[in-house]
Chains A and B, each alone.
Chain A
Amino acid sequence: MYKILEKKEIAMRNIWYKVHAPHIAKKVKPGQFVIVRAFENGERIPLTPVMWDKEEGWIGLVVFTRGKTTLRINTELKEGDSFLNIAGPLGNPAPMEKFGKILAIGLYTGVVEVFPIAKAWQELGNEVHTLHVTFEPMVILKDELEKAVFKHTVETVSIDPNKSFPENMKNVTARAKEKVREMIENLKPDLVFMVGPVGDQKAIFEVVKEYNIPMEVDLHPIMVDGTGMCGACRVHINGEVKFACVDGPSFDAYTVNWDELIARSGYYRDLEMKAMQLYMEKLQAQGGAQ
């Protein structure tokens, strides 16, 4: 059991948790993740420690409300409650090298994964430029990133209430593509790194590819155990099957089979929607989400 020492809403649908997990705080490196199980009948989901304190034994997580599990965590767990299980750190740490000028991009809550890596790269002597593209009310980690890297840029898109959420998301994708192109032209980076929804990763990769700049991506396939024993997270990298949880999560964007990964990520969408809907109905019957 891992106690929640602090819980607060840091932006719309983005909740920060400071959690007691000394076994992870002691070991975690930028680029690694954890697998969390919050409820007895719950599922295991991957999340990323955004910051941590070895001595005090805590890690910080930001949970974006996406489907049932994240909504359930964000509504049911209170400060002082506990996560049942947190396993990790998992995956390989990000490579800590002097690449030179780096453009690190985070879409939506993906910036959580960018933060520890970008910070470490900057400390190592790289010139790190970070870009966060998201909806206006969802900006997070702005002050932290401004302090941590050479230059942090926030690009926001406003939510048009007359349009559906997926339509609104298209605007984020479009803005991200424009901004990345502009920044590449200006900065001529030696490396581009990106975390965000897989469809957006592919779209941004297509832009970067035009400039022939090396690009790393943190992949987000479906995971179950996170320790290499099930293969749910498998992806084709350069034509070879790799398990993202033990071989990644970071890969060279030029080697990823994007269309396969996009298809695999959507496999459970109907069941996920069903679970979410049933849960929302339950919440409504109880008097609504907090």
Chain B
Amino acid sequence: MMVKRKIIKERIPTPERPVEERLKGFMEVNLGYTFELAVQEAQRCLQCPYEYAPCIKGCPVHIDIPGFIAKLVEYKDEPDRAVKEALRVIWACNTLPATTGRVCPQEDQCEMNCVMGKVGDKVNIGKLERFVADYAREKGIDDELLGEMLPEIEKKEQRVAVIGAGPAGLTCAAELAKDGYHVTVFEALHKPGGVLVYGIPEFRLPNEVVEKELEKLKRLGVEIKVDHIVGKTVTIEELLNRYDAVFIGSGAGTPRLINAPGVNLNGIYTANEFLTRINLMNAYRFPEYDTPIKVGEKVIVIGAGNTAMDAARTARRLGAEVTIAYRRGEEDVTAREEEVEHAKEEGVKFEFFLNPIEFIGDESGRVKAVKFMKMRALEEKDAKGKRKIEPTGETVILEADTVVIAIGKTANRLIVNTPGLEVEGGVIKVDENLMTSIPGVFAGGDAIRGEATVILAMGDGRKAAKAIHEYLQKKAKESA
């Protein structure tokens, strides 16, 4: 049903909250498409054939992107139907589209090679995905679709335990539940969601969106046990006695600290602590919420990934003057483009080629300044393709009453200490089927990659679910 249509070069913009309004609170910045705008943007897609579409190849879970976009255009006179059909296509590969549509670095994935980019702006795939998920949620269309899928599930006897309720664990759990397995998720914190609830702030990903996406899991029959710390409350060995397989999706939760004098001064937070207080504990609403947070007038955030942007923009919303200090250059920044743009709009300052070497405190033990070594870039590249840097010997001191360290994280120690579990470079070692060194125990997400992305974690969750399914079928045959 190819209709020849005129090429629309420019992207249909998504409305955003103005900066002054944004800085007053934690309301979501990007307001997303309306149905009309979504259809207009959808009409820009050239509908490249499934086998060639570079967007599909760029998506780590290979969503049929032209396929879902086509549904929006095809049923443009029936919004509910259009969304339902589009969601059906997305769900075949991705169970958390409201989340991924918001937080994926689309510029490095699906949108990177979009053919439209040759003649104009790339298609806004992320925002279209988000639109479908949001509209479906608001109208209860996702529930409807789920209702149609549930009766088709054939219940199986076997049981699977999933460790960690982040994107990796939740995706694995959802896929296995769709296959009919009994799935129990063990989560250490009091709320499921992983980084989606304790890390990424509400102005990017409202907690309500995550909560709603998680309700679907309950309907699929997945049981989530919060307050259960695997390695303490229960061990992997014990899980293996009660379950037929185990998936570890415990993330990379251990923050990396800077080995410099003064790192324990008051006012120095790891990004994990800072963001957990804000997102999970709602400390920005103290004293209505009981958890306190202290942000002074001058904040320095160290690092330039998504975590650093989130911490910096959070601190701006608490009224501070914020500087991001990064040891490399502007072109090496790893955060999503959209977030860097938003941070700049919101008045976050950037300082490049600065590496912290000392934290300076006052008599009460609170940080008052950070001493940096000035760095410079070399021509030579490192293993990750980034320009190498070296110290210049020149130092500079910047004042700060709060410092947030956002230089990365490694795998959760309580899991890594499991006897028999092989670990390499701080992350869990797996084979091509994502099976760990312990038979029947699989792993994925940040736990095997170090800090990566939501969609890669979800891709691992899906892949592991498939591998677990095969493993359990084989096991069932052997015992029959």
Contacts and interface: CB of A to CB of B under 8 A. Distances in A.
Interface of A: 23-24, 27, 37, 39, 41-44, 68-69, 72, 84-90, 224-225, 227-232, 234-236, 241, 246, 257, 259-260, 263-264, 267-268, 271-272, 274-275, 278
B270 A87 contact: no
Interface in B237-271: 253-255, 257, 263-267, 270
Given A27-B232, A229-B255, A236-B264, A278 B276 contact: no
Nearest to B285: A41
Contacts of A27: 232-234
B286 A86 contact: no
B414 interface: yes
A228 B254 CA distance: 6
A1 B291 CA distance: 20
Contacts of A259: 365
Contacts of B291: 43-44, 224
The 7 A-B residue pairs with the shortest CB-CB distance, nearest first, are: A263-B365, A229-B253, A230-B273, A87-B227, A271-B292, A43-B290, A85-B190
Contacts of A23: 227-228, 233-234
B2 to A, nearest CB: 51
B289 A37 contact: no
Contacts of A87: 188-190, 226-229, 233
Q: Chain A interface mostly helix, strand, loop or mixed?
A: mixed
B229 A224 contact: no
Nearest to B252: A229
A41 B228 contact: no
A231 to B, nearest CB: 4
Interface in B305-331: none
Interface in B218-240: 226-229, 232-234
B95 interface: no
Nearest to B225: A23
B277 interface: yes
B479 interface: no
Contacts of A257: 264
A171 B273 CA distance: 36
A184 to B, nearest CB: 31
Contact of B264 (A41, A69, A264): A264
B49 interface: no
A44 B264 contact: no
Interface string B441-471: 0000000000000000000000000000000
Contacts of A86: 227
Contacts of A88: 227, 229, 232-233
Q: Chain B interface mostly helix, strand, loop or mixed?
A: loop
Contacts of A85: 190, 226-227
B388 interface: no
B266 A90 contact: no
A264 B269 CA distance: 12
B253 A278 contact: no
Given A39-B290, A85-B226, 18 more contacts: A23-B227, A41-B289, A44-B190, A69-B290, A72-B290, A87-B190, A87-B229, A89-B232, A90-B232, A225-B188, A225-B189, A227-B189, A228-B413, A229-B255, A229-B276, A263-B366, A267-B366, A271-B287
Contact of A89 (B188, B189, B233): B233
B294 interface: yes
Contacts of B365: 259-260, 263-264
B253 A41 contact: no
A68 B294 CA distance: 17
Nearest to B292: A271
Contacts of A231: 255, 257, 270, 272-273
Contact of B273 (A44, A232, A274): A232
27 contacts: A23-B234, A24-B233, A27-B233, A42-B290, A43-B281, A44-B190, A88-B227, A224-B277, A225-B188, A227-B253, A227-B414, A228-B414, A229-B255, A230-B255, A230-B270, A231-B273, A234-B257, A235-B264, A246-B413, A260-B365, A263-B266, A264-B266, A267-B267, A267-B366, A271-B287, A272-B292, A278-B287
A144 B255 CA distance: 41
B290 to A, nearest CB: 4
Nearest to B290: A43
A278 B273 CA distance: 25
Nearest to B251: A229
Contacts of A264: 264, 266, 365
